Amino acid sequence: MSKQYKIFMIFSMLVVVAMMAAACGPAAPATQEAPAAAPTKAEAPTAEQPAAEPTLPEVEKPTSVTLWTQLNTDTPASARDKIFAAMLPDIEKATGMKVQNINQPYDQLDAKLNLAVQAGGDVPDIFEVNTNTFGFHYANGNLQDITEYVKSAPWYDQLTPNALQNCTGPDGKIYCVPAMLRTNLIYYYPELFPNGYPKTTDELLADAPRLKKEGYFAITGKISEVFGAQFSLYPLVKSFGGSFADADGKIVWASPETVKVVEFFRELVAQGYAPESIAAAGFDNQTPFMTGKAGSFMAGSWSYAFLNPLETPGGQKFDDGAASIENALNAGVLEIAPPLAAPGKGSVSVSDARAWGIPLGVENIEAAKAYINFVMTAKPNADLAYMFGCVPTVAEALKDPRYAESKYWTGVRSVLEGSIPMDPITDNYDQIVLKFADTVVTLVLNPDADILAGLQKAQEEMNNLK
């Protein structure tokens, strides 16, 4: 009998589960849980946060804030993780809130937030937005309109001009707070380019056979996936005079200008001037540059955090963590340059921001604002931007010696100054940009395919979405 009883117990437990599921139903709203951690030293304003206090309305003080970032502060592995982990106690001290940081891998951050918002799950109070996917969040309505808050925030006047355009939707409302800016640029080894680095695509193609003969790729980088489309393809298309989308968001990439871009990459791959991994998924493309097998690297200001250890063609090694790039620059064996330009045209760089957003469904808004107000003060802003390889948006933070005096950052800032944001594609952003990357990769790898026809087909399809 007892055995029967045991099995019956399991069975009845299941019934309970089943009834719970039926009772809650799909329509039950998500409950925002707020861990009841006691605030420690809630009333301890610090020197770093002088302006944040007055803007907080005198409502109940929030006790905790939950973040979703790419940084693992649980078990910090990279230098970025460690810096942020060390910063958390400061944030807790300054805001009097318990900070719970949950790391998400970079390629799942957006998907996870989208699922959480759309399916009514646990959304974080603060979400790390990469504004290259701002269109995705805007289209799905994942972020709250925070226009009023931003315009009255203490750091508003300090923001870099135009930084906000990265967070502004087509409806003119602001959905996130840009904390730092990044841009694409080129790293190269001057020892392989004794006559200077080529400014345009045809100059590079003219110089490439020499490098090939010496056993080097002229250039590497990534043209695949959304990432490649944004930072490698789009700037070059713009430089040639083409565009992804017009002002209304209609796709217009099937143009002779884009054809020239595809032809350029086709030539690079066909002649072996660039490794074929520029077309593959992932980041294998960076290894030829990191090991001194490629002369230059289409990348961005953020890459300095990842390009280590670095070994130059001459065999010099830089294995100093995130400082490797800076050290190589100071040693004169590495240089940065603006992105390649079309023949006879100016170089175009594209910028985007890392920003803080408040997801739809968050009720703990005061906590989110308190967090943002703190990280937008000079020191945290500078620290955070630095670890991501970005330029801070707060004017005061730019006076930080790391930015003001460094050769690298001066170079980055000069490239960033002339940079433009992505074309306004809002609905189906990821799908459209990925389609572009996929189309270009396919055309680059198939030397016989008709480029314009291929682009045309993809364009029509994307314009017929919805």
Partner 1 sequence: MVSNDTINPLVSLKRKSYLRKPLWLLSPALITLLVIQIYPTLYSYYLSLGRIKGGKYTFVGLRNYARILQNSDFYQSLSKTAVYTLFFLIICIGFGLILALLFNRRNRLTPLYMACIFIPSILSEVVSGTMWSWMFQQTYGIIQVALNPFINNFSLLSRPAGAMAIVIAASIWKHLSFTSLLFLGALQTVPREVYESAALDGATSWKSFWKITMPIIRPTMLVAILLTSIRGINALGLILATTKGGPGAATMTTAVYLYRTAWQFGDFGMAAALSVVMFVINVILAVVYIRLLRK
Partner 2 sequence: MVRSKYQKVFDNIVTHGVLGFFSIFMLFPVIYSLMTSLKNKGDVLTLPPTFFPPEWTLEGYQIVLKSDLIRYYLPNSAINSFVAAIITVVFATLASYVFSRFKFRGSRLLELSILGLFMIPGLTNLVSYYRLATDLGLLNTHTVMIMVYTAAELPFAIWILRAFFDAIPIELEEAAQIDGCTSLQILWNVTLPLAIPGLFTAFLLIMVYLWNEFLFAVVLLSNNSARTAPVGLYEFQTTFDIAYHALNAASIVILLPMVILFILGRKVFFSAMMEGALKG
The residue from 61, 82, 93, 112 that contacts partner 2 (CB under 8 A) is: 112
CB 371, CB 91: distance < 8 Å: yes
Burial class, 334, CB count within 10 angstroms (exposed 0-12 / middle 13-18 / buried 19+)? buried
Query: 143 or 412: whose CB is closer to partner 1?
Result: 143
- Residues for the chain: how many in total? 466
Burial class, 224, CB count within 10 angstroms (exposed 0-12 / middle 13-18 / buried 19+)? buried
The residue from 65, 87, 116, 167 that contacts partner 2 (CB under 8 A) is: 116
461 binding partner (options partner 1, partner 2, none; Cβ < 5 to 8 Å by kind) = partner 1
DSSP 8-state symbol, 366: H
115 counts as binding partner 2 under rule CB under 8 A: yes
145 counts as binding partner 2 under rule CB under 8 A: no
Task: Tell the smallest beta-carbon distance from residue 366 to partner 2 (Å).
Answer: 23
Residues making contact with partner 1 (CB under 8 A): 7, 10-11, 14-15, 17-18, 21, 26, 108, 110-111, 114-115, 117-120, 136, 139-142, 224-225, 272, 275-277, 279-282, 284, 287-288, 293, 360-361, 428, 430-431, 434-435, 437-439, 441-442, 445-446, 457, 461, 464-466
The residue from 56, 85, 102, 323 that contacts partner 2 (CB under 8 A) is: 102
Q: Mark the segment that binds partner 2 (CB under 8 A) among 53-61, 70-78, 90-98, 176-184.
A: 70-78
CB 180, CB 348: distance < 8 Å: no
DSSP 8-state symbol, 448: T
d(CA 28, CA 81): 36
Q: What are phi and psi of 419, to 5 degrees?
A: -80, 160
- Which residues fall within 8 angstroms of residue 355, CB to CB, at 6 or more apart? 128, 129, 130, 131, 134, 166, 167, 176, 177, 178, 179
Question: Which residue's structure tokens are 């217009």?
Answer: 252
28 counts as binding partner 2 under rule CB under 8 A: yes
166 binding partner (options partner 2, partner 1, none; Cβ < 5 to 8 Å by kind) = none
Query: 156 or 283: whose CB is closer to partner 2?
Result: 283
Q: What are phi and psi of 286, to 5 degrees?
A: -80, -20
314 counts as binding partner 2 under rule CB under 8 A: no
Tell me the CB-side half-sphere exposure of residue 202, using CA atoms within 13 A: 6
36 binding partner (options partner 2, partner 1, none; Cβ < 5 to 8 Å by kind) = none
74 counts as binding partner 2 under rule CB under 8 A: yes
Task: List interacting residues with partner 2 (CB under 8 A).
Answer: 3-4, 7, 10, 17, 20-21, 24-26, 28, 30-31, 68, 72, 74-75, 77-78, 102-108, 112, 115-116, 118-122, 282-284, 286-287, 291, 305-306, 309
